[in-house]
Structure 1
Amino acid sequence: MMDEPKPKRQALADLNSVSNVLSNQLLIDSSKKPLELKKRSKRITASDEKLRQTTNDNENIYHDEVILPEVPTEDDPCPEVDFDKESESDPYAVSTYARDIFRYYKYRERFFKIGDYLKKQNHINRDHRAMLVDWMVGVQESFELNHETLYLAVKLVDMFLDHVPNVAKEDLQLLAGTSVFIAAKFDERSPPLIDDILYICEDAYSRDQLLQMERDVLCTIGFDLGMPLSYRFLRRYARVIKLDMPTLTLARYVLETSLMFYEFVHVSESLMAASSLLLALRMKHMGDWSLVLQKYSGLKLEEVEPLMYRLNHMIIKRSLNFDRLQIIYQKYCHEVFHSVAAMPSLESPIPITEPISAPPELGN
């Protein structure tokens, strides 16, 4: 007989100090009562009629028949390479459908764009969001969740904040914990329990509050969790060029670091993945943007390179100005992750005094 799974709560001792910091920074009130929940829920969902209309519109978009454009053979920049045909013997590669799956992901990116939502959030700012994502990475590590779960959870937070104005600062950790809960149920074989989520939030919220927030988030996104994720694109691009694990891990470090920075939330997932990979290739002197990558990403070097330099600038600035947000850096300093965070960045053409930002042409 197999051993019973151990409670996840035992693995969460390391999060106590992180939760304390987040609680202090975000002024979390642990004395909330169910009566206050009803008031706050009403405030959050004050635009229910508009939300229902948005949900209905989303359903119309998502459920319409999708006809993807055919890719002409003459436009194939590297016809001699067919990675999916090479992978036909691997049932886990789903090589028959892989190309169409990622074309469909790219098609779907347009429906999950994030706007400049801080303009309609009066109680939170870039620093609050950065601290929140840093904390979510700690949660992902402590629960040993898939990286896809982390990326989906962060996307859920951004989608909610983009659609629901004036979210209270004290609701942010509840939103983040609930987003991890939803993403884990979508992507994990053994997701955390409600009690586990409440525990990592130091019991600052009630079970009813978490369940209400879960309903609010799912209604806001139209119950559509099949969002394109930059992490999935990155894995695909790495597979088609048969990339070694240390270089892929370096690209993952760059991409995961970018999750903290609001400046990149509006950039497409496929471009974020491509630029992170190009930066890793150049940092490790492993080549450049090849025709194979162009073929499977649909992106040319001139589209990828400007964002790559901005991500390189981000890595440099992070080491100088973000000492208190260390969870991602410390994670990728570990030998399990090949200590990739210690890799020197590229020489940057961007002055160190410039703030972190996406290329102007990618602005909202």
Structure 2
Amino acid sequence: MALRHRDIIAKVADRENLHTKPTKAQLTKPLLTRRPALDELSNKLNAAQPATTKHDPVKDSKAVKVTKPPKKADPVPKSYSVHQLETIIDPDADSKNEPQMVTEYLADIYNYLLELEEKYPIRKNFLEDHKSTPRMRAILVNWLVQVSSNFTLCLETLHMCVSIVDRYLQDNPQVDGKTLQLVGTAALLVACKYEEMYLPELKDFVYICDNTFCKREILKMEMSILISLKHELGKPLSIHFLRRYSKVAQVELQHHNLAKYLLELALINHTMSSIKPSLQAAAACCLSMAILNNLSCPSKAWTATLVHYTAYKYSDFKNVVQKLASILLTAETSKHQYVQSKYAESKYSKISTNPKLKGHLVRKLAEPSPKA
């Protein structure tokens, strides 16, 4: 046993803090390191290596479930409005770099015109209980068309003149046949001052009346008109809307001339005065395309682009198209022929003489719809 104990002690004698019996603490002298001389110093410094620890990967005791990737969802079908937007053509794409075309403000301008036409409505049957009859008004408008053509006035002047006459007659039922021509002459003078750059002289207006009225009477009526209308002359006209619609539809010149012809025929008919100018322009533009393009129904001419830029569907002005077709069909037999002779000139493509204006489509639309 003693030998065995001695062997064990010998094997572990060099271990720290292991003693066979209590002894005095043994002190170890600190190790002295030699400091290098100045010439032995170098630029290389022994940087301490960072301590690194090895981590054994942790094994997950739980089994990982393999899930199948989810099935791809079916694509969401596009809505009708998206399909419609894909077919819309930008009519102002070629004029975006032209500052005078103000393309960035066109939508605001159009919406403002729509608000203005709501502000100045003409009542239905505004000539009821009136001293001036629809026949007198038709004679006056036919004469105004002739005068504006002789003076080579722009179409806006003519349309504005008739608009002023209707607004004045609506508020002044006492106007009779004797003063109706004076109202028309003064209204034409106001419209010329508003629209024309070079307007006829006052003596020219006296001349066209065959000296029936003097300068003083014309100026007095002009003042009466301005007071009655409260100097508010900015009512939109159908020709304003038509110019925009024709550009949106990208029509040819003959289509635009036919639409203008329809609107001037509408000026003579007093029942058209109560219809908003924007609707009249939409109906004229649509009907002109349907007639000249030999379409079976005018609704086919009213494209998604026109719906987008005009905010009107065909159903909104369908009855106006029927009224214009009826007016067009009876234009040849009407007593007021100056509009027809005017648009028979070559500068208007002789559109009033086109045989398509008496075609099957016009006759079909002019037929009165059966009452339910």
Shift of 1:124: 1.6
Task: Tell me, yes or no, if the aligned pair for 2:256 and 2:285 is still in contact at 8 Å.
Answer: yes
The aligned residue for residue 185 of structure 2 is 177
**AA matched with 2:310:** S
Which one of the candidate residues 314, 322, 340 is aligned to 1:301? 314
Report the 3-state secondary structure (helix = DSSP H, G, I; strand = E; otherwise coil) of the residue aligned with 1:318: coil
What aligned pairs does 1:197-346 form with structure 2 within 5 A after superposition? 197-285=205-293, 288-320=301-333, 322=334, 324-343=335-354, 344-345=356-357, 346=361
Which segment drifts farther, 85-94 or 283-292? 85-94
Task: Tell me, yes or no, if the aligned pair for 1:156 and 1:179 is still in contact at 8 Å.
Answer: yes
Distance in 1 between the 2:343 and 2:249 partners? 23
Distance in 2 between the 1:273 and 1:195 partners? 35
Distance in 2 between the 1:75 and 1:258 partners? 37
The aligned residue for residue 164 of structure 2 is 156
Shift of 1:90: 2.6
**AA matched with 2:352:** A
Distance in 2 between the 1:189 and 1:75 partners? 46
Task: Tell me, yes or no, if the aligned pair for 1:309 and 1:348 is still in contact at 8 Å.
Answer: no
The aligned residue for residue 126 of structure 2 is 117
Report the 3-state secondary structure (helix = DSSP H, G, I; strand = E; otherwise coil) of the residue aligned with 1:118: coil
Q: 1:142 to 1:76 in 2, by over 3 A?
A: farther
Task: Tell me, yes or no, if the aligned pair for 1:120 and 1:166 is still in contact at 8 Å.
Answer: no
- Give percent identity, aligned residues only: 28
Shift of 1:171: 0.6
Shift of 1:75: 9.1
Give per-residue Cα distances to partners, 1:30-54, cap 9 Å, x unaligned.
xxxxxxxxxxxxxxxxxxxxxxxxx
Task: Tell me, yes or no, if the aligned pair for 1:332 and 1:338 is still in contact at 8 Å.
Answer: yes
Task: Tell me, yes or no, if the aligned pair for 2:329 and 2:362 is still in contact at 8 Å.
Answer: no
Give per-residue Cα distances to partners, 1:172-222, cap 9 Å, x unaligned.
111111111100110110011111111111110011111110011111111
Shift of 1:233: 0.1
Distance in 1 between the 2:254 and 2:345 partners? 12
TM-score normalized by the length of structure 1: 0.73
Distance in 2 between the 1:238 and 1:270 partners? 13
What aligned pairs does 1:34-183 form with structure 2 within 5 A after superposition? 77-78=84-85, 80-115=88-123, 116-121=125-130, 123-183=131-191
Distance in 2 between the 1:349 and 1:227 partners? 34
**AA matched with 1:335:** S
Task: Tell me, yes or no, if the aligned pair for 2:325 and 2:365 is still in contact at 8 Å.
Answer: no
**AA matched with 2:127:** L
Q: 1:76 to 1:259 in 2, by over 3 A?
A: farther
Task: Tell me, yes or no, if the aligned pair for 1:133 and 1:154 is still in contact at 8 Å.
Answer: yes
Root mean square deviation, CA, Å: 2.2
Give per-residue Cα distances to partners, 1:105-147, cap 9 Å, x unaligned.
00111111111221131x2211111111100110110010010
Q: 1:75 to 1:138 in 2, by over 3 A?
A: farther
Mind listing any 5+ residue stretches in structure 2 that lack a counterpart? 1-80, 295-299
The aligned residue for residue 33 of structure 1 is none
Distance in 1 between the 2:238 and 2:229 partners? 18
**AA matched with 2:336:** L
Distance in 1 between the 2:98 and 2:137 partners? 40
Which one of the candidate residues 348, 354, 360 is aligned to 2:363? 348
**AA matched with 2:341:** Q
Task: Tell me, yes or no, if the aligned pair for 1:77 and 1:294 is still in contact at 8 Å.
Answer: no
Distance in 1 between the 2:82 and 2:197 partners? 40
Task: Tell me, yes or no, if the aligned pair for 1:84 and 1:99 is still in contact at 8 Å.
Answer: no
Mind listing any 5+ residue stretches in structure 1 that lack a counterpart? 1-73
Distance in 2 between the 1:174 and 1:239 partners? 37
Report the 3-state secondary structure (helix = DSSP H, G, I; strand = E; otherwise coil) of the residue aligned with 2:232: coil
**AA matched with 2:324:** L
Distance in 2 between the 1:306 and 1:94 partners? 34
Shift of 1:242: 1.8
Give per-residue Cα distances to partners, 1:60-104, cap 9 Å, x unaligned.
xxxxxxxxxxxxxx6995365333354212333221222211110
Shift of 1:349: 3.4
Please list every run of at least 4 consecutive aligned residues from structure 1 whose deviation after the TM superposition is greater than 4 angstroms. Answer: 74-77
Task: Tell me, yes or no, if the aligned pair for 1:233 and 1:269 is still in contact at 8 Å.
Answer: yes
Shift of 1:351: 6.5
Task: Tell me, yes or no, if the aligned pair for 2:238 and 2:278 is still in contact at 8 Å.
Answer: yes
The aligned residue for residue 57 of structure 2 is none
Task: Tell me, yes or no, if the aligned pair for 1:76 and 1:295 is still in contact at 8 Å.
Answer: no
Task: Tell me, yes or no, if the aligned pair for 2:190 and 2:222 is still in contact at 8 Å.
Answer: yes
**AA matched with 2:283:** S
